[in-house]
Amino acid sequence: MRLRLLVSYVGTAYSGWQIQEKPKPPPTIQGALEAALFRLTGQLVRVHGSGRTDSGVHAHGQVAHCDVPDAREGFDWRHSLNAVLPHDIRVLEASPAAADFHARKDALRKTYAYQFWQDRRFLPPQLRPFVWNCGPLDLDLMRKAIPYLLGTHDFAGLRNAGTDVENTERTLLDARLEQLPPCEFYPPHAPMLRLAVTADGFLKQMVRNMAGLLAACGQGKMEPEQIPAQLAALDRRAVPSVTAPPEGLALVRVEYPATDPD
């Protein structure tokens, strides 16, 4: 039976989603899920995610699939997995899927969120694992930059090295930047900013490079008008902004084609 999993995790303690084949494999989300499935089934059940998340990156709604023994029909996979998983990884849903459902190949759209904190002098300790403390940002300048990124582009310039993906064209369907409500417990501070981006797919570290690019605009280090030329260079080295750190990033949602009711 094929299972579709909806998974939420705090990525701080993990070396990303994907299992690393090393003599001493570091902790990974996929590894933790496969270890939990081994405890429940006594078998190696391979877990296929919608995509990798980097070391330290979080997810509110990562999607994965795996094939579990049929004999377990009626078994409460969600409850059982949560009972044996570490507490920083939680299964929100575990439902039977079509035999050919594929978490990565079938994904239509993904949405990521990136959080910016604007006070270098104080970062609430509760928020530290979830934000980039990059100092003050000019929201208007950042918002001016967004239209240059929307739509279909070759995003090779916002891809970090280390993948052999051939087609680097992606369509950025939506990008929004909003101020979050203040943390009620702390003295008045500059609001936290959250970027939410939706695309038909993302290249390696593309969201973190986009966040770095927008922050550079918001810090006045770059003009939004420079973005088209930098994208057109198709080279990460042509883009002077930094790759934003992983802790600010979370995979929010993966969307699939609607399935016909049985």
Q: Which residues bind its own copies (CB under 8 A)?
A: 8-10, 58, 60-61, 78-79, 82, 87-90, 92, 121-126, 128, 130, 185-187, 250, 252
- Strand ranges in 118-223 using DSSP code E only, listed in sequence order: 132-133, 151-154, 169-179, 193-199
Residue 119 designated active-site: no
Cβ closest to its own copies, residue 112 vs residue 155: 112
Residues facing residue 93 across a β-bridge: 6
Cβ closest to its own copies, residue 83 vs residue 232: 83
DSSP string, 81-106: HHHHS-TTEEEEEEEE--TT--TTTT
The answer on whether 148 is annotated among ligand-binding residues is no
Closest CA to 155 of 117, 218, 204: 204
Geometric angle at alpha carbon 72, from 36 and 6, rounded to 5°: 50
User: In angstroms, what is the minimal distance from the CB of 34 to its own copies?
Assistant: 18
Catalytic-labelled residue, pool 54, 76, 119, 154: 54
* Dmax (CA) of the chain: 60
Cβ closest to its own copies, residue 36 vs residue 213: 36
Cβ closest to its own copies, residue 8 vs residue 18: 8
Q: How far is CA 75 from CA 78, 90, 103, in A?
A: 9, 17, 22
**Quick one: CA dihedral 8, 54, 148, 170, positive or negative?**
negative
- Binding-site sequence positions for substrate: 112
- Binding-site sequence positions: 112
Q: Would you name the residues annotated as active-site residues?
A: 54
